[in-house]
Structure formats: structure tokens, C-alpha cells
């Protein structure tokens, strides 16, 4: 009898240890995984919500799987973030195919299909020693937003229809958009919009959404997957003349990081495919409109999509 009770105690202790031990190694509330134990990376992002949420998804995924992450999200400006990665301040961040094509690889041709562009971008970045993971299906390109009310009032269904708006209507853009090669000047040219027929206002990106809703802007330069579009009663007409290049997102990291953690590359690869346009808009809206914390939103996405048990 005594031997048996010793065994019971021993088994109970072992189970207890296993439970406690597994709980200790997991640093998130999710189920404990250890496939990324030993991974230690610095994750950065650009300074807008979508970029931050995408990077938080990666961060929470790595943490849930036993890795270590230093969070350096929310860096000001596209090129500064890229610079930070190339110089080693961060190891990875989410970039867009269109941005890399036009801004870093200094190309000018924009009439390319998304997956073709992706391949070209990956090839072009080999020289810069940057690895691209698979891209998302959502395309967060530049878009024009107008209130649903104005769209109905002036019969606006396409970008060309925007020319039907009253003379002197205010188009609001952000200062970076003015300078980009796929930006303001090119759009006006592609759609034959004369400067004399409109008023241009330069605002902070965040302010543009509210200003468009309020009426200080008739047309606002926005991002296609921003959650505020739906939440503020705005709509995006159809791009009838193809102008904006595709902007699919993909996680980029230095070749050195990819070589150091091949298990990480493999583990992160499936994430992008799970994020559709609707999904991205929803995640963005939860942060921008509902005020939720980005890390929380990232975690709930990972659980809901089954990427983390």
C-alpha cells in the first residue's frame, strides 16, 4: 500500500511540475509553444496603425512560441524604417510592394499586376540583402475617399467621376504624398485634373479622415484598408484609370536574420495569407475607431485565425 501511495504522489508531482513548467515557459496567455525558443529579434514598424498592427501580430506570434522580441514599432516615415532595418537597429518590419518598387528601387513603371510586381520586388531587393516573406492578399494602396452623401449627390462612382465635383473643391493630401512619384502630381496628370479647377490642402494624415467627414475636405487622400473609412461614413470610388501601383504587404527582414533563424522564416510564412482586405480593415478599425490596444487586437487575431492555439 505504501509503495502505491508513493507512486501516486510521484505521478501527481510530475503532472503538477509539467503543468507549472509549461506555464512558466509561456509568456502569453495563449497555449504554450516552444518552436521559436532561442529566437531573439527586434521588430519595427512604420508610424501608422496598419503597420503597427501587422508588426504586433508578428511580435505576439513569436512570443506565443517561446521567442524573445524587442518592440521598436512606430518609427516615423517609410524610408526611416527601412533605413533602421538596413543599419541593424531593427531586424524586420512589414513593407509594401509598391513602396519598395518606387521609392527604394527607384522604378517608375506602375502598370504591373500584384504578384508579378511582388516577384520583381523580391528579385530587386536581393542586392540590398533583404528577404521578403509571402505577401498578403489585401492591397493597401493610396485611395480617395468621399462622404457617401456627396457621392450620391454628385453621382460619383469612379475616380474620373470626381471631376464632376464643383470647381474649387478641396482635395486634402498629406505632405509625403505630394512628393512621391506615385503621388499627387502623377495622379492629376493621369486623370487630367487641372490645378485651377480644385483647391489643394496639405494636412496630417490622421486629420484627413475627420476633415473629409466634416466637409473641410471634399476628397481626402486615404489608405484603402483604413478602418476609419467605413466607420466615418466614407466610400472609395473605383479606380477606373489604373494609376496607383499595388501595395501588398509582406514582412521584410535582413538576409542575416533570415539565415540566423530559418525556423522563424518558416513559422511566419503562413501569416500573410490569412489577412484579407476585410480582415485588415476590421483590425484597423478596432484600433483607430474603438480605441483598442494594438497588442490586444493582434493577439485576438492570432487566436481567431487559429495561428496560435
Partner 1 sequence: MPKALAQPNLTAGSMYSQSARLIFKRHRSLIIQPLLILALSAALAITLSRAHLDVIEKVTINQKFIFRAIQDHLILSFASAAVILAVAIPAGILLTRRRYKKFTPIVLILANIGQAFPAVGVLIIAGILFGFGKPIAIFSFAAFGILPILRNTIVGLQEIDPFIIESALGMGMTPKQALRQIELPLAVPVILAGVRTTLILTVGVATLGVFVNGGGLGTLIIPGLKLNRELVLVTGGILTVIVAFTMDWLARAAEELLRPRGI
Interacting positions 143-182 with partner 1 (CB under 8 A): 172, 175-176, 178-181
CA 279 → CA 6, 53, 133, 151, 206, distances in Å?
Answer: 54, 12, 19, 25, 21
CA distance 282 to 297: 10
Q: Applying CB under 8 A, does 212 fall inside the site for partner 1? A: no
CA distance 43 to 73: 7
CA 12 → CA 3, 20, 176, distances in Å?
Answer: 14, 12, 63
Helix axes 49-64, 294-304, angle to 10 degrees: 60
Q: Applying CB under 8 A, does 300 fall inside the site for partner 1? A: no
Least separation, in Å, of the C-beta of 232 and partner 1?
12
Q: Applying CB under 8 A, does 204 fall inside the site for partner 1? A: yes
Answer for which of 32, 190, 207, 231 binds partner 1 (CB under 8 A) is: 207
CA 120 → CA 105, 114, 126, 246, 264, distances in Å?
Answer: 10, 10, 10, 12, 24
Provide the mask over 217-256, with x wherever binding to partner 1 is found by CB under 8 A and - wherever it is not: ----------------------------------------
SS3 108: coil
Provide the mask over 58-87, with x wherever binding to partner 1 is found by CB under 8 A and - wherever it is not: ------------------xxxxx-xx----
Q: Applying CB under 8 A, does 201 fall inside the site for partner 1? A: yes
* Binding interface with partner 1 (CB under 8 A): 76-80, 82-83, 103, 106, 108, 172, 175-176, 178-181, 183, 185, 201-204, 206-207, 210-211, 214, 216
Amino acid at each position: 500500500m505504501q509503495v502505491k501511495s508513493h507512486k501516486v504522489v510521484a505521478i501527481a508531482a510530475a503532472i503538477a511540475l509539467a503543468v507549472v513548467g509549461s506555464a512558466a515557459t509561456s509568456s502569453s496567455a495563449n497555449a504554450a509553444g516552444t518552436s521559436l525558443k532561442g529566437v531573439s529579434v527586434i521588430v519595427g514598424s512604420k508610424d501608422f496603425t496598419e503597420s503597427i498592427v501587422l508588426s504586433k501580430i508578428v511580435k505576439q506570434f513569436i512570443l506565443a512560441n517561446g521567442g524573445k522580441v524587442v518592440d521598436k514599432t512606430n518609427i516615423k516615415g517609410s524610408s526611416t524604417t527601412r533605413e533602421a532595418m538596413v543599419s541593424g537597429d531593427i531586424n524586420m518590419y512589414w513593407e509594401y510592394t509598391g513602396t519598395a518598387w518606387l521609392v527604394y528601387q527607384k522604378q517608375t513603371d506602375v502598370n504591373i499586376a500584384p504578384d508579378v510586381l511582388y516577384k520583381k520586388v523580391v528579385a530587386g531587393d536581393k542586392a540590398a540583402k533583404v528577404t521578403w516573406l509571402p505577401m498578403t492578399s489585401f492591397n493597401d494602396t493610396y485611395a480617395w475617399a468621399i462622404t457617401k452623401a456627396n457621392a450620391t449627390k454628385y453621382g460619383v462612382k469612379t475616380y474620373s467621376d470626381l471631376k464632376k465635383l464643383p470647381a474649387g473643391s478641396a482635395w486634402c493630401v498629406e505632405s509625403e504624398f505630394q512628393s512621391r512619384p506615385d503621388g499627387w502630381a502623377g495622379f492629376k496628370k493621369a486623370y487630367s485634373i487641372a490645378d485651377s479647377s480644385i483647391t489643394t490642402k496639405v494636412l496630417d494624415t490622421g486629420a484627413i479622415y475627420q476633415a473629409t467627414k466634416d466637409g473641410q475636405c471634399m476628397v481626402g487622400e486615404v489608405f484603402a484598408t483604413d478602418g476609419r473609412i467605413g466607420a466615418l461614413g466614407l466610400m472609395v470610388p473605383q479606380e477606373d484609370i489604373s494609376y496607383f501601383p499595388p501595395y501588398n504587404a509582406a514582412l521584410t527582414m535582413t538576409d542575416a536574420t533570415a539565415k540566423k533563424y530559418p525556423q522563424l522564416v518558416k513559422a511566419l510564412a503562413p501569416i500573410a495569407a490569412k489577412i484579407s482586405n476585410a480582415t485588415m480593415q476590421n483590425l484597423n478599425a478596432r484600433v483607430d475607431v474603438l480605441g483598442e490596444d494594438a497588442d490586444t487586437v493582434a493577439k485576438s487575431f492570432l487566436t481567431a485565425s487559429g495561428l496560435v492555439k
